């Protein structure tokens, strides 16, 4: 991520107002995964501070379980797994890709012009500690 930031930074600065959303993931608890997730948040906040005076905003999107081919492969037709997955979701369903997309659109819009360095959690109320 640092290399991407270094390469895209000069281009975004030349283009004028810019937004850099980052998208995380939610996986089963593993120490290396949590460390990586916190690294993404730290990089997001650091990058946001670094370019804030240049009219560039950097935010992260941290999605919950979303209807994707990967989730379909993992869950499959196993009703017990499907029920367990839904039982763990406070709002009783998993998210849709459009819900993540609309969050990214918001973060990249002028409506979020005062939002930078923020990890936006979009997980239906399931917050990983």
- Asked whether residue 1 is assigned to any structural domain, the reply reads no
Q: How far apart are CA 105 and CA 116, in angstroms?
A: 14
Domain that holds residue 115: 17-122
**Residue where the block lists tokens 């990214």:** 104
The answer to whether the CB of 61 falls within 8 A of the CB of 104 is yes
Instruction: Quick: pLDDT tens for 66-81.
Output: 999 988 888 888 888 8
The pLDDT value recorded for residue 99 is: 96
Give the Cα separation of 11 and 6 in Å (integer). Answer: 10
Do the Cβ atoms of 114 and 54 come closer than 8 Å?
Answer: no
SS3 state of residue 29: coil
CATH label of the domain that carries residue 113: 3.40.50.720
Q: Is residue 73 part of a domain?
A: yes
Asked if residue 66 belongs to a domain, the reply is: yes
100-116 pLDDT, tens digit each: 999 999 999 999 999 99
């Amino acid at each position: 991520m640092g290399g991407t930031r270094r390469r895209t930074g000069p281009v975004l600065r030349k283009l004028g107002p810019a937004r850099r959303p980052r998208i995380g993931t939610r996986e089963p608890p593993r120490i290396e995964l949590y460390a990586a997730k916190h690294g993404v948040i730290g990089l997001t906040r650091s990058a946001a501070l670094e370019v804030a005076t240049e009219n560039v905003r950097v935010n992260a999107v941290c999605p919950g379980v979303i209807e994707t081919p990967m989730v379909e492969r993992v869950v499959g037709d196993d009703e017990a797994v499907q029920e367990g997955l839904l039982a763990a979701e406070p709002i009783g369903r998993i998210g849709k890709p459009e819900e993540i997309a609309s969050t990214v659109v918001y973060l990249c819009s002028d409506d979020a012009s005062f939002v930078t360095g923020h990890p936006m959690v979009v997980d239906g109320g399931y917050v990983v500690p």
